[in-house]
Amino acid sequence: MENLERLKGRILDEAREKADRILDAADERCAEIQREAEAKSDEIRKRAVERARANAREEERRAEIMRSLDVRNAMLRAKGDAVDKLMAEIPATIRALPDEEYLGIMKRMLINAAPAGQVELVVALPDRGRIGSDFVKEAASELAAAGKQTKLKLSTETADLTGGFILRASTVEVDCSLDSLLALCEDELAPLVAEALFGRS
């Protein structure tokens, strides 16, 4: 009976030792899993922070590009507005020239644009006091000297123009107004105006 009790005690001791080893191993494995999970969690957190920082840098870079584009576009709009404003003032500036210069420009336009045949000169209302019968005589004389078969006549009508005139023949009408002259030269003139205002870019 005593042997049986000793045997039972030894079996219980071994079972307890085995259980303790199993529990120790389980504790160790739990601790290992915990360490791995923490390491993995730290890695995930670190990657997430790096991604967030990279995204923030990219957003900042894009925002800076957009700000730069906005500033550039605003500058271009302002420059375009300044050029447009100055271009719109050109007819009045030409009209403000002394008579000799202004009439010289008008005469060159007339001689270059005059069609052959009977031509009526319809003057812009603001130019009626400047472009009269003397101008027509001089222009007719220069047309004849240039070999053009144009018979020029001053119309009693006036045209609703900022300046210049219209040449009216039986089959054609030529607009020699300051506005049409400006429109015709706008593509060449606008870059020159921009350069005069802002220098070469």
Residue that has been written with the tokens 């991604």 in this structure:
51
What is the pLDDT confidence band of residue 119, given thresholds at 50, 70 and 90?
very high
Specify whether 11 is located in the same domain as 34: yes
Last residue of a domain, one of 50, 79, 96: 96
Asked if pLDDT for residue 192 goes beyond 80, the answer is no
Specify whether 89 is located in the same domain as 106: no
pLDDT for the residue numbered 156: 92
Instruction: Tell me the C-alpha distance between 99 and 117, whole Å.
Output: 28
Domain span holding position 140 = 98-198
pLDDT for the residue numbered 1: 61
Specify whether 89 is located in the same domain as 1: yes
Specify whether 92 is located in the same domain as 109: no
Question: Residue 158: exposed, middle, or buried by beta-carbon count in 10 A (0-12, 13-18, 19+)?
Answer: middle
Specify whether 44 is located in the same domain as 14: yes
Asked if pLDDT for residue 15 goes beyond 70, the answer is no
Specify whether 113 is located in the same domain as 92: no
What is the pLDDT confidence band of residue 83, given thresholds at 50, 70 and 90?
low
Specify whether 175 is located in the same domain as 188: yes
Specify whether 118 is located in the same domain as 75: no
The model's pTM is 0.57
Specify whether 62 is located in the same domain as 33: yes
Please tell me the total count of domains within the chain: 2
Asked if pLDDT for residue 182 goes beyond 90, the answer is no
Specify whether 32 is located in the same domain as 78: yes
DSSP E strands in the chain: the ranges are 117-124, 150-159, 164-168, 173-177
Amino acid in the structure at residue 117: G
Specify whether 153 is located in the same domain as 111: yes
